[in-house]
Structure 1
Amino acid sequence: MTQNSTQNTASLSEIFSSRQGEGPHIGKRMTFVRFGHCALRCQWCDSPKSLEHVPFFRLETFPGSESFKEYPNPISSSALNEMLQNFDDEFISVTGGEPLEQASFLSSWLPTVKEKTILLETSGVLTKKLAQVLDHVHIVSMDFKLPSSTGMKAYWAEHKSFLQLAHEKQKEVYVKLVVTENTSDRDIADAIHIVTDINKRIPFIVQPVSATDTLNISITPERLNSIERICKAYLPNVHTIPQMHKVWGVL
């Protein structure tokens, strides 16, 4: 059996309950459904185990326990819903990896998820995939992949069409930028320009980079303050928020 997803099955990395550690919904307890695989390779990725399809995913045995049991990939929507019955959080964070790489599964599974608020965490580059699932999503957490931060190519056109679609569909949407000491003023300006072209009031989250197990990377307070000043000169809804789950010591 293939580990890749289909319309009826998904390739997962893990399922667990924790507090949201990023963005404007910080502190809210959520059930995180982490999908496997991501085509991007951000140098500061903090979930490297979700970059590839894997034969097994891990399920938290009791919500919040950080104790896990492994199950084989892929998983059907009915089996996933059965597992989620053990989690009573109001929010489900659909995250990754890049969950929109499995949009066919999401488009069939999400309509079956009842009485939950769905938060989609995404790299913000797969607009056509977003269109397949957006009717079943309540909140879109969209990254801006700044080339001077990620070490990859720019995705400005993809980011603009993605944000435009989420905004046109009147979804709650916010953008998040991971910034490092090497983040350029030009990249910040390009991100600001996209947001002001669509709606300058879209929440704009500046997230200082966190070191990973394999990369010792940081940003000085002076550079972070400089970036924040640039953003606030053009946007009214700028927030600087680190990855708080790492501060709290939770998943």
Structure 2
Amino acid sequence: MAENHVWRAENYRSSNTRQFRTAMEALELAGLRGGRLADVGCGSGEITREVAERGYTVVASDVSPSMVEATRQLCAGLPVTTTLQDARKLELDGKAFDIVHCSWVLHWLDDIDHALNEMAHALAPGGALVLQWSRGRKIRDGSDIVEEVINRPRWRDRLAAIPFAMRQHPAEEVAAQLEGAGLAIELPPTELDGGFPAEPVALGRIMRAAGLAAQADALGDDADDFVTEVATELIAANTLNPHNTRLIARQG
């Protein structure tokens, strides 16, 4: 898994408005009726706050201390519990949640088996699991270009210990595992429009906030040059589609 503890809530919040919006779209498809909700990978807390204001008691977790603290502050006074958790070792109360939501996490996990099984086990009868993740198709994509830039002379030695760690988890395999855990697929895997800007500085800013946060943290003052170089190459190669995928499954 990437060293996501370097993710900064203020950077993520300013660069990922579209990701917040798509998460709410997915949750509304599942039916927001109140109850208990687990927000796995809560990020900077906007989704957690929104669903808490709609009547949910929320358990929000993230691997980044910055994200957890931002969520705690944003949700002060609301029925929200925040926890620092690596999704690879996720712990949720069994059969306790009406919705388990996890957006933009799975592609950072080298092994998703435990996380998927834990989220499925956490659902109350009739509860919905709402997933969104990138690289839901097993194809050659922009990650090859990112790795090529990392290995260029200017960056190679400084980033040798920080490989690009975004993984591919094909949607059909995720769906099959959830069915094996006893869930019914309510919304089959659906690919979303990535919506990324085809302008190097703007795209680089988004990548610095999340996908290349660990590399940017290591590079310090040179981070903007690096992320802009990656973004320029991705745009030139027309590989901006991250194959973002949405899936909703329900416990019987």
More helix by share: 2
TM-score range, shorter chain: 0.3 to 0.5
Relative CO higher for 1 or 2, CA cutoff 8 Å, sep ≥ 6?
A: 2
What TM-score does the superposition give when structure 2 sets the normalisation length? 0.36
